């Protein structure tokens, strides 16, 4: 499965293709079954997005079916992030007035929540109704009492905290899972770094900012984060420079960043590369499967970013800035 992923050189080819050429290329690749299946109903950008989403969902479901015991449990729990991603997508869509069709086109049902259930959530008229419809799932208890009137970020943060806390607890109970736990804690660091940048952009600091921080990261201790949320920019950068993640973002961080997408993409790339290296060093662990899952998810995101960029008439350089390569 790993050898079927697109090598980096392929993206250089995709960037110079027109949208029809891109569609043909995708149809001749690992996504052929899904493209052929959906070609009668969709075309253009819609066909690419739906086909790649469907392929991603089927791939992750296949991974759960081909594993047993503790590896299976770890993968199922890891894929809970997909359920949370779908819930957050639906909540954002309802909050910002997106149509049901617009929300449905970006769903990737590859966790425990079925497509039918997610579709039922999409049909709910409001954020409140979506939350109420989650009753009976583990997610309802997490967000049912949260006041999100100021920002949906409170709901999203609560779901992320629940995910990482539960995953770290499960992994720590499994014998020989120290490498996996290290990766999970590194993911927590990356999530917290993204949150720190967003909080600073939003002008949120102090105890209010710390509500959004996920505990038990690998390198970023909670007490250090508490100092960083209130630090002036120069001091904030000084703190960041102590951590290995700084090497990935040092050349683009400034106090006048109009967008955080570059920083977030660099951090995700750093994490992906780390997991791949670890999976190479420890091939008889669950890490190779984890590395594959991250890379497959990234591949689909890159294909869709290129397709959307072509549809919008963006230049190759601008599209490339939004890819994780």
Q: What would the pLDDT profile of 99-149 be if each residue is shown by its tens digit? A: 998 898 888 787 889 889 999 999 999 999 999 999 999 999 999 999 998
pLDDT, residue 176, reads 66
What span, in angstroms and rounded, lies between the C-alpha atoms of 5 and 288?
A: 14
pLDDT of the residue at 150: 80
280 and 214 in one domain?
Answer: yes
The answer to whether residue 208 scores a pLDDT higher than 90 is no
Q: Is residue 297 part of a domain?
A: no
Is 147 in the same domain as 221? no
Query: Which residues, in sequence order, are CB contacts of 276 under 8 Å at separation 6+?
Result: 291, 295
Q: What is the mean pLDDT of residues 231-258?
A: 92
Q: Which of 145, 174, 203 is the last residue of a domain?
A: 174
DSSP secondary structure, 237-265, as one string: HHHHTTSTTHHHHTTT--TT-S-SHHHHH
Per-residue pLDDT band at 258 (split at 50, 70, 90) = confident
Residue 278 located in a structural domain: yes
Task: Give the end of a domain, one of 118, 153, 174.
Answer: 174
Which of the residue ranges 78-87, 236-245, 279-288 has the most confident prediction, judged by mean pLDDT? 236-245
Please check whether residues 108 and 51 belong to one and the same domain. no
Closest Cα partner for 129 from 164, 158, 100? 100
Q: Is residue 292 part of a domain?
A: no
The domain tally of the chain equals 3
Q: So what's the pLDDT on residue 202?
A: 85
- Are both 75 and 162 inside the same structural domain? yes
Q: At residue 249, does pLDDT exceed 90?
A: yes
- Do residue 280 and residue 202 come from a single domain? yes
- Tell me: do 185 and 270 sit in the same domain: yes
Same domain, 6 and 73: no
CATH of the domain at 154: 1.20.1690.10
CB 289 within 8 A of CB 215: no
**Given a cut of 80, is residue 25 above it in pLDDT?**
yes
CA distance 297 to 316: 22
Residue 92: pLDDT band with limits 50, 70, 90: very high
Residue whose entry in the numeric block shows the structure tokens 């296949």 = 62
- % of the chain exceeding 90 in pLDDT: 57
Q: pLDDT category, 57, cuts 50, 70, 90?
A: confident
Asked if 80 and 91 sit in the same domain, the reply is yes
If asked whether residues 14 and 57 sit together in one domain, one would say yes
Residue 113: inside a domain, yes or no?
A: yes
Last residue of a domain, one of 117, 143, 174: 174
From 185-189, 257-261, 282-286, the region with the lowest mean pLDDT = 282-286
Rg (CA), the chain: 20
Candidates 220, 273, 230; CA nearest to 248 is: 273
How high is the pLDDT of residue 105?
Answer: 80
The pLDDT value given to residue 283: 81
Same domain, residue pair 62 and 78: no
What's the domain range around 271? 178-285
Task: Write down the H helix ranges in 203-245.
Answer: 206-210, 222-228, 233-240
Within-domain flag for 88? yes
Among 38-42, 228-232, 285-289, the least confident range: 285-289
Residue 114 forms part of a structural domain: yes
Same domain, 222 and 271: yes
In a domain, residue 299? The reply is no
Question: Which element (helix H / strand E) includes 201?
Answer: helix 178-202
Q: In which band, very low, low, confident or very high, does the pLDDT at 310 lie, cut at 50, 70 and 90? A: very high
Q: What is the mean pLDDT of residues 72-92?
A: 90
Nearest to 167 by CA among 292, 82, 81: 81
d(CA 325, CA 11): 8
pLDDT at 75 over 90: no
Contact yes or no for 308/318 (Cβ under 8 A): no
Tell me: do 196 and 126 sit in the same domain.
no
The CATH number for 275's domain is 1.20.1690
How high does pLDDT run on average in the chain? 90
Give the DSSP H or E segment for 44: helix 44-65
Dmax (CA) for the chain in angstroms is 57
């Amino acid at each position: 499965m790993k050898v079927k992923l697109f090598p980096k050189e392929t993206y250089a080819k995709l960037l110079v293709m027109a949208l029809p050429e891109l569609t043909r290329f995708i149809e001749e690749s690992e996504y052929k079954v899904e493209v052929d299946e959906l070609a009668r109903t969709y075309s253009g950008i819609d066909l690419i997005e739906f086909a790649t989403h469907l392929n991603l969902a089927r791939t992750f479901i296949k991974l759960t079916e081909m594993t047993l015991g503790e590896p299976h449990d770890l993968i199922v729990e890891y894929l809970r992030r997909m359920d949370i991603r779908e819930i957050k997508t639906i909540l954002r869509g309802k909050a910002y007035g997106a149509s049901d069709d617009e929300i449905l086109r970006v769903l990737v049902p590859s966790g425990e929540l079925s497509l039918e259930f997610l579709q039922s959530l999409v049909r709910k008229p409001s954020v409140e109704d979506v939350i109420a419809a989650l009753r009976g799932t583990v997610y309802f208890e997490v967000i049912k009492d949260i006041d999100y009137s100021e920002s949906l970020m409170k709901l999203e943060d609560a779901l992320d905290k629940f995910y990482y806390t539960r995953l770290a607890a499960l992994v720590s109970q499994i014998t020989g899972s120290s490498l996996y736990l290290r990766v999970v804690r590194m993911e927590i660091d990356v999530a917290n770094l993204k949150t720190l940048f967003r909080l600073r952009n939003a002008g949120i600091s102090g105890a209010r900012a710390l509500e959004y921080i996920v505990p038990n990261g690998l390198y970023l201790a909670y007490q250090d984060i508490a100092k960083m949320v209130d630090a002036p920019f120069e001091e904030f950068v000084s703190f960041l420079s102590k951590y290995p993640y700084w090497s990935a973002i040092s050349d683009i961080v400034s106090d006048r960043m109009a967008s955080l997408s570059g920083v977030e993409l660099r951090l995700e790339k750093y994490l992906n590369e780390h997991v791949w290296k670890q999976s190479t060093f420890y091939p008889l662990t669950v890490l190779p499967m984890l590395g594959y899952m991250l890379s497959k998810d990234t591949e689909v995101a890159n294909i869709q970013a290129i397709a959307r960029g072509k549809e919008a008439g963006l230049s190759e350089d601008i599209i490339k800035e939004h890819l994780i390569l």
